[in-house]
Amino acid sequence: MGLSSAKVVGFLHTAEVHVATFDSLLRATDLDVEVVHLVRPELLEMARRLGTESEEVRTHTGSAIRELADLGPALIMCTCSTIGELAEAHHGPIPVIRSDRPMAEFAVRSGHRIAVVATVASTIEPTLALLHSVARTSSVQPAIVSKPCLEAWPLFEAGDHESYWSLVASHVDRLGPEFDVVVLAQASMLGSLQFTKRSGVLASPVRAVEHLRDVVQANPLAQPG
């Protein structure tokens, strides 16, 4: 089905680096869409400090989604795993997809033992909850185990992305052979795929863009305006 260049997709990020990541992945698809980005690092900072159950975090996440919606997208994708559930639950006229859901759906279909690697503590519980929810919906019962790599995050915050990815990859490579699938819980971890020697490692941006392509091709987005 042909797509008009007037189709608009919005991305909500909590780190500037994700703009280039998703732009690059989208260019590699055959989608002819316009992309708008909104970067709000304070949402992750707030969620780490107050927790995702905080009404303040919920309110500010909703405000960011409404701000992004004003830019004209027909679909919004939230690329932050920590606030993904809040974004997805936002009630508004524009659907919101959390970028880690397609990865979670693929993971529970692909293995009986799943390791979840996160570099931010606030991401662990939302990712585990998502995987368990998807598993229940899919009527499967994989063993899902958290294997955090929290020591890597300061490298990302310092802008040393290559060292960050390398440390995460080393952590992944040390995981036992009993794990069929390794889930990289955050979009920031995508670059670790180029360093790991392990197979069965999943990163959310790749699956998210593949899912977005399928959604847009099956249900062409409305033109703005």
Asked if the model's pLDDT at residue 18 lies above 60, the reply is yes
The residues facing 116 across adjacent strands are: 146, 183
pLDDT of residue 221: 59
Q: For 34-52, how does the pLDDT look when each residue is reduced to its tens digit (9 = 90+)? A: 899 999 999 999 999 999 8
User: Could you tell me the pLDDT band of residue 214, with boundaries at 50, 70 and 90?
Assistant: confident
For 87-103, b/e burial (b = at least 16 CB within 10 A) is bbebeeebebbbbbbbb
Give me the mean pLDDT over the 204-222 stretch.
82
Q: What is the DSSP letter of 6?
A: T
In this structure, what token pair is assigned to residue 14? Answer: 């909590």
pLDDT of residue 4: 38
Asked if the model's pLDDT at residue 145 lies above 90, the reply is yes
Contact residues for 211 (Cβ-Cβ < 8 A; gap 6+):
97, 101, 102
Give me the mean pLDDT over the 157-165 stretch.
96
Q: For 84-130, how does the pLDDT look when each residue is reduced to its tens digit (9 = 90+)? A: 999 999 988 899 999 999 999 999 999 899 999 999 999 999 999 99
